[in-house]
Structure 1
């Protein structure tokens, strides 16, 4: 436990005015908190509670809304959002920050691309076939059929629903992906797709597999702990693997504190020269959303 700070008195109030605010967390002795710190802590707890109530995926919001959230925090982030808007990006579809945000954002972008294509029925069928092609790789990776069959059926049924006539609207797709059972099943299936691809091509990935502390991991340990486990954030390795396995190009705009804010770095993943329009995601440190 951190040592408690003595209560401030009127004589040292002026000296404390120029000091940075004390960090209040779960290790802080609550009996030492000032009234202002108690109020701030309560507000933060309410915000965290509201965050738990956020949908797994949210309706599109203008990038200007995201900009407003950073106006009092990061000038570089504001400049980069301005750069995105200038380049023609308009909206962000937010994924809940639960560690599965990359896979949820990918699923949403992937689905909306299908229903907006010239032939949604054909694209949905091709996508379902591509997922079915992963089954032999699942078995080679050692996944028992009873482990993945329910998730596979849920994802396949969802993909088939995208090819109906007329195809579902974006709002209807979003509603399906907001359903925890459907959304979580798709996340698990996409994690298995990603893991099985990495396991099948160890020579391509083994030198890039690191744990959260920077330690090198074996292919098996990396896949079990950093890919298959829900709630674990995706990094470049997972993105490259999923993109390659499903033959889906991905472009990610990196909204971070690098540079002077005049432009946003865009990183592309997937086969070079792909004819398909990439799925566009927005990365903020530790989080992914769908960008349009």
Structure 2
């Protein structure tokens, strides 16, 4: 179906009489992003951030200094619109490698989650492979495998994307189950279901507060997001999802992108 998608996209584009050369150039740019950015990087010293902004970029340099007070390392994810789910999935599974109690709790929630989706009207055979891949990775962590195996699974595009799809489905399922609550946050007169079909389930759609709240609650995992933007003041504001919980996972948000932070 990826080929079908490509075909549909290219047919749409050809209708606009796009020139082949432009298409080829766009493909090259996409390829370049893909090959230069692993889906999930190794853990890097937080100081790599300094080099990403000009020395005279006072706002960002101050904010990076502020981050340094709390965090020592960063792990980057590819900027492909799926980065929130990939960062969350990797960071949480990584944390399970040395927390068997949380692993057992999480495994039970994950195992039951497929049935919840089926009961909500998702088609079992459509979601089965995604769920199986998700369970396989949790079991990989359970076998006390090395971090290296988890990292290479997340850098295998097909495995990694299956995890992203399943996390998107869980987010969609939770939003729809709690549609009465979430309806207030959806703009443009769309129903929660329409929002899920347009902004949650399709790959490469970026994530916002509403997605993070839903996934954190669906899996009962607390997420802290540090927001680094052009806002005034030299400090980075953070937000914990769900509010008041004790965060297990730390993410850095820069406009349009999420990476993983480590204390």
**When the two structures are superposed, what TM-score results if normalisation uses the length of structure 1?**
0.76
Q: Are residues 141 and 161 of structure 1, via their aligned partners in 2, closer, same or farther at CA, if it must alter by over 3 Å?
A: same
In structure 2, how many angstroms separate the alpha carbons of the residues matched to 1:162 and 1:123? 11
CA gap of 1:142–1:207, structure 2 versus 1, over 3 A, is: same
Q: 2:142 aligns to what SS in structure 1?
A: coil
Structure-1 residue corresponding to 2:255: 285
Query: Partner of 2:128 in structure 1?
Result: 149
The answer for the alignment partner of 1:8 in structure 2 is none
1:134 equivalent to 2:113? Answer yes
Correspondence 1:109 to 2:86? no
1:205 counterpart = 2:188: no
Maintained 8 Å contact 2:224/2:249: yes
Corresponding residue SS for 2:252: strand
Question: Following the alignment from structure 1 to structure 2, what is the Cα–Cα distance between the partners of residues 50 and 73?
Answer: 28
Report how far residue 73 of structure 1 moved: 7.0
8 Å Cα contact 2:84/2:207 also seen in 1:
yes
Relative to the length of structure 2, the TM-score reads: 0.84
User: Are the equivalent residues in 2 in contact too, given 1:206–1:218 (CA < 8 A)?
Assistant: yes
Report the counterpart of residue 48 of structure 2 in structure 1: 65
- Give the Cα–Cα distance (whole angstroms) in 1 for the partners of residues 207 and 140 of structure 2: 27
1:150 positional shift: 0.5
* Secondary structure of the corresponding residue to residue 202 of structure 2: coil
1:160 aligns with 2:139: yes
Decide which structure has the larger Cα Rg and report it: 1
Q: Which residue of 2 aligns with 1:7?
A: none
How big is each residue's C-alpha offset from its partner over 1:179-222, in whole Å with a ceiling of 9 and x where there is no partner? 11211110000000000000001111001123xxxx23211110
Q: 1:73 to 1:98 in 2, by over 3 A?
A: farther
Relative distance call for 1:257 and 1:201 in structure 2 (3 A) is same
**Alignment RMSD (CA, Å):** 2.1
Q: Match of 1:5?
A: none
What's the counterpart of residue 75 of structure 1? 58
In the alignment, the residues of structure 1 paired with residue 64 and residue 146 of structure 2 have an alpha-carbon distance, to the nearest angstrom, of 28
CA distance in 2, matches of 1:60, 1:254: 20
Classify the secondary structure of the residue corresponding to 1:77. helix
Answer yes or no: is the 8 Å Cα contact 1:92–1:289 preserved in 2: yes
The equivalent residue for 1:94 is 76
Once the two structures are superposed, residues 245-291 of structure 1 have per-residue CA deviations (whole angstroms, 9 ceiling, x without a partner) of 11100000001011222x110100026344xx421000000000111
Post-superposition offset of 1:49: 4.7
SS at match of 1:134: helix
Which string of whole-angstrom CA distances, capped at 9 and with x for unpartnered residues, describes residues 62-120 of structure 1?
121111111257321111011111x2311111110100000000011101110122xx3
Aligned partners of 1:134 and 1:46: how far apart in 2?
Answer: 39
The 5-angstrom pairing of residues 169-184 of structure 1 reads 169-184=146-161
Tell whether the 8 Å contact from 2:226 to 2:237 is kept in structure 1 after alignment: yes
CA distance in 2, matches of 1:83, 1:271: 22
Return 5+ residue gaps in structure 2 as ranges.
Answer: 1-24
Query: Structure 2 matches for 1:225-236, cutoff 5 A?
Result: 225-236=198-209
Match of 1:258 in 2: 231
**Residues 7-64 of structure 1: CA distance to partner in whole angstroms, max 9, x if unpaired?**
xxxxxxxxxxxxxxxxxxxxxxxxxxxxxxxxxxx9x998765322121111111121
Higher relative contact order (CA 8 A, sep 6+): 2
Q: CA deviation at 1:139?
A: 1.8
Provide Cα deviations, 1:107-146, integer angstroms capped at 9, x if missing partner.
11101110122xx3x4333222111222233123321001
Q: Alignment partner of 1:216: what SS?
A: coil
